Structure 1
Amino acid sequence: MRAAEILERLVAFPSVVGTSNTALMDYVAHYLSEHGARVTRVVGPEGDRENLFATIGDPSLPGYILSGHVDVVPAQEPGWLGDPFVLRRDGARLIGRGACDMKGFDAAVLAAVPELAAMPLRAPVHIALSYDEEAGCRGVRHLLAKLPELCAAPLGCIVGEPSGLVPVLAHKGKAALRLVATGVSGHSSRPDLGQNAIHALAPALCAAVALAESLKSGPQDARFAPAHSTVQIGTVAGGQALNIIPDRAEACIEARAICGVDPRQILAPLAGIGGLDAEWLSDYPALALDADHPLTALATEISGHAPLQAVSYGTEAGLFQQAGVPAIVCGPGDIARAHKPEEYLTEPELAGATEMVLALGRRLC
């Protein structure tokens, strides 16, 4: 089956982050099993979402993982010119939610499976598909916990996030924190009889702004733009009306950390502010692969592109690295198209990704 046809099938599953992906995984598992792959489905604690791990070749030998996520962000923007979950062709563009981020890579990998299965592989090729990546890489953690049961220690992992098929060696880590202040409501004419939750939250907001400023003179890594770790207050909510004392207020704050810095540790002082409830929403570590690592050379060879030192977005690659699996980012498309109306991948980009996967297979023969 051609990669574009598989992409059409994948896009048709509305696997929005935080919702069930069982039907999509049924399709993928059936397809892989038909071609002789060993398939394991790792259901998450939510019960309606799962990861999938498949192996082509001997799982007792060290091999390589091709990793992608199957969840997509919601598609409710008004700029769509058609149903986001029906793949449309406009010239060379294949348009649909997730076409670029990152069902295109998933489709390219699946399209290569019949040829991979026919190759005399000396090392296995593994396929890892995860859920809820868009919610802070939640699903892949459960897959990584079971990885030692599924295969020999892998030699490396290629995470196919959109990079123009250019291998990426590093990205920042991220942590997200929600702070909630609870007050006592009442009429604004008698603030002395209530407790203003927004006022209670304000010191934490000021502390976050000061923290963001202080990071500018902190540790630097010239591979990134900006070259330092960052903090941002992303959302603030609270209050019902101007003449009502707000009884609840919350802020969501994120840190993005350069390699070697723990993003949770950056936000830890905010999480410890008294009188506020703190909830960690998500976190993942930075990625840092040496330019002289064998995986860098392999990715350069099979992609046909010299590696890029770093990107500003984050991926599951840092979690693979944290689990002891060397990881690199390399996938089709442009991240600038992701999370936008009329998201697309071109047919040449899809074909290039399929060829990269097949080049990996030939390299392992």
Structure 2
Amino acid sequence: MDVFDILDRLVAFPSVAGKPNGDIAGWIEAYLAEHGAQVTVILGPEGDRSNLFATIGPTDIPGYILSGHMDVVPAGEPQWNSSPFTMRREGEYLYGRGTTDMKGFLAAALAAVPMLAGLRLARPIHLAFSYDEEVGCRGVPHLIARLPDLCAKPLGVIVGEPSGMRAVRGHKGKAAARVTIKGRSGHSSRPDLGLNAIHAMSEALSAAVSEAERLTHGPFNSAFEPAYSSLQAGVIAGGQSVNIIPDSCTLDLEARAIPGVDPASLLAPVRAQVEALAADGFLVEWTPMSAYPALSLPQDAALAALLSELTGEAPLAAVSYGTEAGLYQAAGLEAIICGPGDIGRAHKPNEYILASELTACLRMIEALGARCAA
């Protein structure tokens, strides 16, 4: 199978985040085993989805990880011109959910396996494929925790998120949480007998807006756009009818932090305001939804130099989107982003990747293999 056949097969699995992934994980496991890779299936605590870790070459020598996620975002938009889970090719354009984010990278890595297996690698190349990245990087921590048992400490991790095959050294961290406030319902003509959850939530929302404004004043990191950390209220819901005192309201928040700032700490002022509402008789809940740290690989890191050599271009300092790379770095491993496609095409109808981008990624992995065989 070539890279296009493999991508076609991967797209056909509707591996939406938060759902069981046995079909796609099982197919990849069988493919890798067929080509002689050492494969470990790492079942997550959910019990119905797994990470995969595979090694080509020796396990007791430090090597490199090619990291990607198997899950995709939903594809329910009506603007799709064809079935999102059937790859459609029109010349250079390959359409389908996940083609860019990020089954294109998975396909290139898998297509390279037969070649890598034939090289008798002196340093191993590992494949680390995770689940539920799109809902807060929930799967990969379980994989990272197992690495000491699976291989010698890797020299570096290449996370293949779409970057136009330009390596990237940094991204912001993120934390998201859901606020739930429960009050007491009643007829709107007697507000004195109820507890209006939406009115109470306005205090949490005001704290979020105030904190968002404060963050625009720094600290700053000029590698990012915007150059400061940020906070926003993304979703708010509550109430049944205009003449009913709303007894429940929810608010979803997210914070994105420049390196050196803990993303969760940015939400702390809002959390404090929410918890203070308990004194007024409201029941309040603070539910973390997702969190991952920022990535900040030094410009003079060995992994940055390697990717400069493999791609022919100096790595970019940073991108605005987040990845699993920060979690690898937090675990003590050098990590960098480099993958085919453009993040601007992701999470949209008619998502696509170019055939030339897949080929370029495959060439990069083959060049890495040649280095590990030397």
TM-score range, shorter chain: over 0.9
**Deviation beyond 6 Å, 4+ runs, structure 1:** none
Shift of 1:218: 2.2
Shift of 1:344: 0.4
Corresponding position of 1:170? 170
* Alignment pair present for 1:324 and 2:304: no
Corresponding position of 1:289? 297
Corresponding position of 1:139? 139
Corresponding position of 2:270? 270
Tell me, in whole angstroms, the C-alpha distance in 2 between the residues paired with 1:304 and 1:54. 27
Matched residue type, 1:309? A
Shift of 1:269: 2.1
Which stretch of structure 1 is more off in the superposition, 270-279 or 76-85?
270-279
Shift of 1:363: 1.1
Name the SS for the 2:85 alignment partner. coil
Tell me, in whole angstroms, the C-alpha distance in 1 between the residues paired with 2:106 and 2:51. 13
Shift of 1:160: 0.1
Corresponding position of 2:93? 93
Name the SS for the 1:364 alignment partner. helix
Q: Tell me if structure 2 keeps the 8 A contact 1:97–1:343.
A: yes
TM norm structure 1: 0.99
Shift of 1:121: 1.4
Corresponding position of 2:364? 356
Name the SS for the 1:179 alignment partner. strand
Q: Which runs of 5+ in 2 are unaligned?
A: 279-283
Q: Tell me if structure 2 keeps the 8 A contact 1:284–1:318.
A: yes
Corresponding position of 1:334? 342
Corresponding position of 2:46? 46
Matched residue type, 1:196? N
Name the SS for the 1:220 alignment partner. coil
Corresponding position of 2:81? 81
Tell me, in whole angstroms, the C-alpha distance in 2 between the residues paired with 1:109 and 1:204. 45
Tell me, in whole angstroms, the C-alpha distance in 2 between the residues paired with 1:305 and 1:50. 35
Name the SS for the 2:153 alignment partner. coil
Name the SS for the 1:94 alignment partner. strand
Shift of 1:300: 1.2
Q: Tell me if structure 1 keeps the 8 A contact 2:166–2:316.
A: yes
Tell me, in whole angstroms, the C-alpha distance in 2 between the residues paired with 1:331 and 1:260. 25
Task: Give the total of aligned pairs.
Answer: 365
Shift of 1:120: 2.9
Corresponding position of 2:281? none
Shift of 1:200: 1.1
Shift of 1:98: 0.3
Matched residue type, 1:190? R
Matched residue type, 1:192? D
Tell me, in whole angstroms, the C-alpha distance in 2 between the residues paired with 1:300 and 1:71. 29
Tell me, in whole angstroms, the C-alpha distance in 2 between the residues paired with 1:24 and 1:223. 37
Shift of 1:113: 0.3
TM norm structure 2: 0.97
Q: Tell me if structure 2 keeps the 8 A contact 1:231–1:253.
A: yes
Q: Tell me if structure 2 keeps the 8 A contact 1:165–1:305.
A: no
Tell me, in whole angstroms, the C-alpha distance in 2 between the residues paired with 1:20 and 1:253. 27
Tell me, in whole angstroms, the C-alpha distance in 2 between the residues paired with 1:364 and 1:24. 28
CA shift digits 1:85-125 (9 cap, x unpaired) = 00001121110000000000000000000000001312100
Shift of 1:272: 2.7
Q: Tell me if structure 1 keeps the 8 A contact 2:211–2:269.
A: no
Corresponding position of 1:181? 181
Tell me, in whole angstroms, the C-alpha distance in 2 between the residues paired with 1:68 and 1:232. 28
Q: Tell me if structure 2 keeps the 8 A contact 1:177–1:271.
A: no
Taking every aligned residue pair, what percent have the same amino acid on both sides?
Answer: 59
Within 5 Å, give how 1:308-323 maps onto structure 2: 308-323=316-331
Tell me, in whole angstroms, the C-alpha distance in 2 between the residues paired with 1:153 and 1:351. 29
Name the SS for the 1:18 alignment partner. coil
Q: Tell me if structure 1 keeps the 8 A contact 2:220–2:228.
A: yes
* Alignment pair present for 1:160 and 2:160: yes
* Alignment pair present for 1:24 and 2:24: yes
Tell me, in whole angstroms, the C-alpha distance in 2 between the residues paired with 1:104 and 1:212. 36
Name the SS for the 2:241 alignment partner. coil
Corresponding position of 1:345? 353
CA shift digits 1:174-195 (9 cap, x unpaired) = 0001111101111111111111
* Alignment pair present for 1:72 and 2:72: yes
Tell me, in whole angstroms, the C-alpha distance in 2 between the residues paired with 1:20 and 1:299. 34
Tell me, in whole angstroms, the C-alpha distance in 2 between the residues paired with 1:361 and 1:126. 11
Tell me, in whole angstroms, the C-alpha distance in 2 between the residues paired with 1:15 and 1:217. 41
Tell me, in whole angstroms, the C-alpha distance in 2 between the residues paired with 1:330 and 1:45. 29
* Alignment pair present for 1:307 and 2:281: no
Tell me, in whole angstroms, the C-alpha distance in 2 between the residues paired with 1:124 and 1:182. 54
Considering only aligned residues, what root-mean-square deviation do their CA atoms show, in Å?
Answer: 0.7
Matched residue type, 2:310? I
Tell me, in whole angstroms, the C-alpha distance in 2 between the residues paired with 1:69 and 1:215. 31
Tell me, in whole angstroms, the C-alpha distance in 2 between the residues paired with 1:33 and 1:154. 22
